Amino acid sequence: MSETLLRIDKLTTHFHTDDGTVRAVNGISYDLKEGETIGVVGESGCGKSVHALSIMRLIPMPPGEIVDGEVIFRDRDLIQISMDEMRKVRGGEIAMIFQDPMTSLNPVMTIGNQIIEVLRLHAGMDGDQALDRAGEMLALVGIPEARERLDSYPHEFSGGMRQRAMIAMALAGNPQILIADEPTTALDVTIQAQIIDLVRRLRDLIGMTIIWITHDLGIMAGLAERMLVMYAGFFVEKAPVKELYANPRHPYTMGLLSSLPRADSGRDGKRLEPIIGRPPDLLAPPKGCPFLPRCPYSIDRCKEENPTLKEIGPEHEIACWIDVRTAETHEVIG
């Protein structure tokens, strides 16, 4: 069995705003094994991105603060090391790609120079060697006439090409872990398929470990090995990918799946079953289970205590007081 590469333990990130404390991430833990692809899913505002930015120490402080927890990577706690050391980790050992490539590409610098900068900082390359390598990186992510395109500026690239250029930049430092924060959300399905196909090939080629953050359960089905479902800053369900889709056991995961239409089968007269309401305000999270106001199940205990994760099968954990297979549903007022 492969080894644990990254261990996240009770990671807690809050934002101190004028209105009060926003509890974005609330003590989440997981192990990331070498070579695996993990999918983190949930609606907007559930803390997925803040979790990733916390690992990278990219949370703006203030107002943000990592109030508790450890991120252990190669016997070091990334939360504790100096910013200088962290800068070497970022882009070198752990790289991140974002939804909007323009947030990480410099608009007034050529694509080539941006890749060369990463190579110089993290691979100690210079001159022609760096230039050659940058050309190779662009070719690797499938940009035609890569060598010539090194002189292009980001605005000269289409959305899909920018995303590829960002991946080339992220991979230039030869990272062990790639954190992808919804990198395909703004793209068309054909371009999304190109990017996912590319990431899959690169993963198999260079043995990358991936944390992929998305709200789209469709994408993860063909990409992830393990899934973490996030709600209101907590993990509410963890399971291997096939188990999660075939046998979801947290009412939130079930709701996410039943609100999705499928392109590969007709509706057979069925309606979609959305989750009613919307995610809770993390400024004033309710006492008890945060999903309670939207949950079609629930017992008295849900009002009082927030359930913690417990194992219900091999590698399958849920944070729920109820066994949905036997519980009765009731009307929820939206």
Q: Which stretch binds other proteins (CB under 8 A): 25-33, 94-102, 104-112, 211-219?
A: 211-219
Which residue stretch of 61-69, 73-81, 172-180, 242-250 sits at the interface with other proteins (rule: CB under 8 A)? 242-250
**Options 221, 312, 327, 332; binder of other proteins; rule CB under 8 A:** 221
Shortest gap between Cβ of 219 and other proteins (angstroms)? 5
- Between residue 127 and residue 166, which ones bind other proteins under the rule CB under 8 A? 144, 158, 160-161
* Minimum CB distance to other proteins smaller for 268 or for 300: 268
Contacts of 174 (CB under 8 A, 6+ apart): 92, 122, 123, 206
Token couple for 202: 């690169």
Task: Give the closest residue to 39 by CA, choosing from 308, 281, 242, 312.
Answer: 242
Lay out the sheet containing 177-181: strands in order across. 94-97, 177-181, 209-214, 37-41, 226-231, 234-240, 316-318, 310-313
What minimum distance in Å lies between the beta carbon of 114 and other proteins?
Answer: 21
Which residues, 18 to 47, sit near other proteins by CB under 8 A?
43-44
Cα distances (Å, whole numbers) of residue 270 to 65, 259, 265: 45, 11, 12
- What separation in angstroms does the CA of 239 have from each of 186, 285, 316? 27, 25, 4
User: What are the φ and ψ backbone dihedral angles of 172, each rounded to 5 degrees?
Assistant: -60, -35
Within 73-125, residue ranges assigned H as helices are: 83-89, 111-123
The 3-state DSSP class for residue 214 equals strand
- Residue choice 58, 121, 191, 312 for contact with other proteins (CB under 8 A): 191
Site size with other proteins, rule: CB under 8 A: 45
Q: Does 111 bind other proteins (CB under 8 A)?
A: no
Which of 87, 120, 147, 215 touches other proteins (CB under 8 A)? 215
**Per-residue x/- track, 244-283, other proteins (CB under 8 A):** -xx--------xxx-xxxxxx-xx---xxxxxx-x-----
- For residue 144, the minimal CB distance to other proteins (Å) is 8
In DSSP notation, 260-300 reads ---TTS--TTPPP-PPPS-PPPTTSPPSS-TTGGG-SS--H
CB 226, min distance to other proteins, A: 11
| Shortest distance (Å) from residue 147 CB to other proteins | 18
What is the spatial distance between Cα 261 and Cα 213, in angstroms, rounded to a whole number? 21
Q: Which stretch binds other proteins (CB under 8 A): 56-64, 83-91, 239-247, 300-308?
A: 239-247
Q: Which is nearer to other proteins, 117 or 216 (CB)?
A: 216
For residue 82, give both structure tokens: 């100096």
Q: Sign of the C-alpha dihedral, residues 279, 285, 286, 287?
A: positive
The residues of the shown chain that bind other proteins, judged by CB under 8 A, are 43-44, 144, 158, 160-161, 188-194, 196-197, 215-219, 221-222, 241-242, 245-246, 255-257, 259-264, 266-267, 271-276, 278, 334
